[in-house]
Every structure is written in structure tokens, then in C-alpha cells.
Amino acid sequence: MMATDNKIDVNELNFEYEVIAYSRNIPVLVDFWAEWCKPCQTLSPLLEKIVDEANGGLRLAKVNIDQNPNLALQFNVRSIPTVKAFIDGQVAGEFSGIQPESRLRDFIGRLTPPSPLDLDIEKGQGLLANHKWSDAECVLRKALEQQPESVSIQLGLAKALLAQDKPEEALALLKAIPSGREYNQAQLLLPYAESLLQFKQDLLPDDNNLDAVFRNSLRLAGQGKFPPALDGMLDILRADKRFRGGLVKQVILGILEIMGEDDPQTRSFRAELATILF
């Protein structure tokens, strides 16, 4: 690991200063590891990623137990990887073994107060859940300026844009999201985003009544009027389940992703979609 102010290798000589004293300013995660430990190699990049995202609000100190056995003994490290969090010179929490990223974030979230950026992200997600699309866009744009690499902010902003008939920028955001927990959600949104853009550019077929219904449904969806848009698309599927090669189903799933699972209408539309298809 390349040493920086917030990521450092520590040993028995400097532990008191680099961990104990440092933890009186910001929380310090101490990662007890060894070169032969394969789970350690999996955990370490996740910890580094989260510390990087903390923007100076968190420190990662790595202890090689083979080179520093007295530290492992002093802090009762019985297996590795073991991570202990120090705050104000004391162990404030710990865990052993591989943990999924979501649990790591929960663990660290309990140690550190939310930053103004965290509060903005939380506010933006709340506005999305309440379908306050314009307000969500404003808040998430501000958050993205401060943390341009955050895929969760990119995804949230793309949803807000798609609900306001802005597929061009939304598509750019979605296509930039790398593999990870947000990637699958981004893939669900792409068919809707691409169809909405084609509608705006007048590139969609207009050969029959079902094409007309699809175009009108996209018009409604672009205005954030999702329930009537979904009603129209479900009518298309009732007439032709394979309309445009299954595109309508994919677009519906994208719209439901934007509406969110906490919306009672989402559950209702999912049930109706399943009834039609199966």
C-alpha cells in the first residue's frame, strides 16, 4: 500500500503515534493482516476504497502481524483479517473475517458522523423516493461536483434526469458506471434512457397503433407521469408480449427502477406485469 496521510503501514515503534494519538483527531481503522492471508487481500482494497471516499475523515493503518507479533498479541488478534477501529485512543469497534462492502460501510458509518456531503446524498435519495425530481437533481448535482467519482450519486442523478425528459446527460452518466453494486441498476435504466432519447429525436417507428401507444407512453414518462405511461405500455404487452423484441418490458423495468421499491405503485405494476407475461 502506498503511504499517504490517510493510508499508512504501521509497526510496533510508531503505533502509539500513528494510531493512538492520531485517533484523537479522526477515526483510525487498523487492519491486521499478513502476506499469506488471501482473505486479507480481498478485504484490503475495499477498506482503501472507503477510506479514499471519506476525503480525509478516516485513516487506514495496516499492521503486518508477522512483522509485528507483539501488536497482534497486545490487541488480542486471534485470526486475520481483523479490523479494529480506534477513536480517542480507544478501540471503538472491531470485526474479523471478510465482510461485504455494505456491512463495511455500516460498520464505518456508526463510527463517523455524517459529513455535509453525506447529508446531501441522503437528502437527494429522499427526494428521489418522494418523486421530487427537480429538487433531487439540484441536490445531487451539487454532491457530484464534490465527489465526481461517486457512482451512487451518478445513478441517482441519472434517475432524476430521466424523470424530467433529459436522456442525453442521463445516458452519459449511466454508461460511465463501472462494474459494482450500481452497475446492474444502471443496465436496467439503459433501455428506457435510449428509447426516450430516440423518441425525442423522432427516430422511433410509427407504423401502427402499438407504435403510437409506445410513443405516447414515452412522452408521459419523460414528463414524470409514470403511472399513465406504464398503463399504456402494459396495454401494448397485452396485445403483443414480444412487441419490438421485448423492448417494452425492458423499458417498464427501467421506469419501475426509477419509481423505487418503496412506492406502492411499483409493487402493483410489477404484479400486473408478471400476470401479463406469465
Q: What is the mean pLDDT of each run of 10 residues along the chain (278 residues)?
A: 76 96 94 96 93 88 97 95 95 93 89 80 94 97 92 96 98 94 94 97 92 97 97 98 95 98 95 95
Please confirm, yes or no, whether 37 is among the known catalytic residues: yes
Please pick, among 8, 19, 29, 37, the residue that the annotation labels catalytic: 37
pTM: 0.67
Alpha carbons 243 and 265: distance in angstroms, whole number: 24
User: Rounded CA gap, 196 and 162, in Å?
Assistant: 8
Q: Which position among 40, 80, 104, 174 bears the catalytic label? A: 40
For residue 138, indicate whether it is catalytic: no
Rounded CA Rg of the chain = 24
Grid cell, residue 123, equals: 437528502
Question: Under a CB-based contact definition with an 8 Å cutoff, are residues 34 and 43 in contact?
Answer: no
pLDDT reported for residue 56: 84
Beta-strand (E) ranges in 14-122? 28-33, 59-64, 82-87, 90-96
Nearest to 44 by CA among 20, 66, 64: 64
Interatomic CA distance for residues 256 and 252, integer angstroms: 6
pLDDT of 57: 85
**Helix 167-175 vs helix 183-200: crossing angle, to nearest 10:** 150
Give all domains of the chain, ordered by start, each with its CATH number. Answer: 7-109 (3.40.30.10), 118-277 (1.25.40)
According to the model, what pLDDT value does residue 4 have? Answer: 67
